[in-house]
Amino acid sequence: MTQTASGPFDVRVTQQDDDSDDPLLNRMLLDKQYHGDLDAVAKGQMLTAGTPVKGSGAYVAIEKVSGTLNGHKGTFILQHMGTMNQNKADLTIIVVPDSGTGELAGLSGRMKISIAPDGKHSYELEYTLNAN
């Protein structure tokens, strides 16, 4: 049975110095705090690529989430893939198969992220939790 978890989250992005000589390529650390149905912290890494066209680019990221999802405690990993085509976003975030631990073993699903005009972030996670 598919369930939904939602709420706000806070994110801190720290750019890493990777000695790249290309200003359009960047590597960053992610530090997140999820609130609401997912009460968790997450640590991750993100790679980004800009283009000469403002509003276009891409990113990939991996983050490990640790906490409680609707009362179930454990960890899982999220995989991000996003592109911007002249400010039109296409974002896919999935729970990495077999990455759930503890009471989150057997977790699968997809996350959507929204960013309000004031910069506040929120998530919606559609998921299934199958006991292994």
So where are the chain's domains? 3-129
Phi and psi (nearest 5°) for 102?
60, -135
- Residue 38 burial class via C-beta count within 10 angstroms: exposed 0-12, middle 13-18, buried 19 and up: buried
pLDDT 10s digits, 78-110? 999 999 999 898 999 999 999 999 999 999 999
Instruction: Indicate the fold that domain 3-129 takes in CATH.
Output: AOC barrel-like (2.40.350)
pLDDT 10s digits, 35-54? 999 999 999 999 999 999 99
Pull the structure tokens for residue 7.
Answer: 């709420």
Q: Is the pTM of this model over 0.85?
A: yes
